Amino acid sequence: MKEVSFVVDRGSPERQEEAEQIAFWQGKQCEALGVISGAGESGKSTIVKQMKIIHEAGYSEEECKQYRAVVYSNTIQSIIAIIRAMGRLKIDFGDSARASTCGPAVLILVLLELDDARQLFVLAGAAEEGFMTAELAGVIKRLWKDSGVQACFNRSREYQLNDSAAYYLNDLDRIAQPNYIPTQQDVLRTRVKTTGIVETHFTFKDLHFKMFDVGGQRSERKKWIHCFEGVTAIIFCVALSDYDLVLAEDEEMANWLHSSLLQNRMHESMKLFDSICNNKWFTDTSIILFLNKKDLFEEKIKKSPLTICYPEYAGSNTYEEAAAYIQCQFEDLNKRKDTKEIYTHFTCATDTKNVQFVFDAVTDVIIKNNLKDCGLF
């Protein structure tokens, strides 16, 4: 691996000291340690997958095949989540409302829809093993086309649903093929809860990166701290689109606890960011804030007001104004503004070009800050 060289006059004691600093930096700069942090489902693991695609030639065909079962599992869990939510939200299948006033043909359609819903649960097991039968694909396609299912999907902020639900469900014809091999984008869209710590290595701009992806759920956070000591930078991911959602772990408890105990996901992210940004151990660590899922946020803000999360917000529900407000909310948590800068970027973790552009800027910040520590910038 190539090293960056500096040419320095060693004539004076000051120059000698500077040369020693540079030599120290040269030893350090070949390795940059980074931690990707953030609340659950903020896009941390997707960013790490992008590093493999951008800096390690992506996923091989064999690796992609190994994700087939995950794609199928995500697809099935998404449609099941919608069907279950229909009961809780009291949403009927599309033809149910007409069944009492129309003829037997409509009643038959309703019975078929109910049968499809039952069949879904019966047939789901095979897909978990990496197989999607034509029968199961047909059941899912018919359910997904139903107007009641679509109405429930449009209310997904009221229950937990994978961000990639529509991506997979709209492309069932392709992913249900017997010879289906997931694409790089399919792999990026997969959702598997991160438990423990996942380490990724890659090289970029003469730096050898060690990146640690740490679980975002509350139960995982106690495992983080030993990873953080001595890290060069912390990339903190926030899902912009979480402003009107509650935590998945809270919703699981809501079945038997009062709904007032539900925690807004954005508020949870702010608490976590506050605890990391202002931690005394990270005084000299670069904090890089990724305001992620900007594409989902841009669509959602048109129909779901920001006041759900920030009641005091008086601006318009436009992407630019609402996103800027959220940025300020996070940056204002920094209690050392005079000495510590937060480097903020708006990202779409599933967009490889966007992540490549942003990470290029992030790497420049890491290099600049290390040079600054050596008195060379």
Residues designated catalytic = 41, 46, 191, 213, 217
Q: Is 163 annotated among the ligand-binding residues? A: yes
Pairwise CA distance, residues 268 & 29, whole Å:
34
Q: Which of 247, 258, 43 is nearest to 159 (CA)?
A: 247
Q: Is 336 annotated among the ligand-binding residues? A: no
One-letter amino acid of 164? S
Q: Is 164 annotated among the ligand-binding residues? A: yes
- The answer to whether the CB of 136 falls within 8 A of the CB of 83 is no
Q: Is 37 annotated among the ligand-binding residues? A: no
Q: Is 304 annotated among the ligand-binding residues? A: no
Cβ-proximal residues to 138 (8 Å cutoff; 6+ apart), any chain = none
Q: Report helix angle 265-277 to 319-331, nearest 10.
A: 40
List helix spans (H) across 129-195: 134-145, 147-153, 165-169, 172-175, 184-189
Q: Is 190 annotated among the ligand-binding residues? A: yes
Pairwise CA distance, residues 377 & 374, whole Å:
8
Burial 91-119 (b: 16+ CB within 10 A, else e): bbbbbbeebeeeeeebeebbeebeebbeb
Q: Is 298 annotated among the ligand-binding residues? A: no
- Please give the backbone phi and psi of residue 175, each rounded to the nearest 5 degrees, phi first: -75, -15
Q: Is 38 annotated among the ligand-binding residues? A: no
* Structural tokens at position 327: 């940025």
Q: Is 125 annotated among the ligand-binding residues? A: no
Q: Is 42 annotated among the ligand-binding residues? A: yes
Q: Is 44 annotated among the ligand-binding residues? A: yes
Q: Is 360 annotated among the ligand-binding residues? A: no
Q: Is 15 annotated among the ligand-binding residues? A: no
**In a 3-state reduction of DSSP, which class is residue 219?**
helix
One-letter amino acid of 298? E
Q: Is 216 annotated among the ligand-binding residues? A: yes
- The answer to whether the CB of 310 falls within 8 A of the CB of 275 is no
Residues flagged as binding site:
41-46, 163-164, 188-194, 213-217, 292-295, 349
Residues flagged as binding site for GTP:
41-46, 163-164, 188-194, 213-217, 292-295, 349
Residues flagged as binding site for Mg(2+):
45, 194
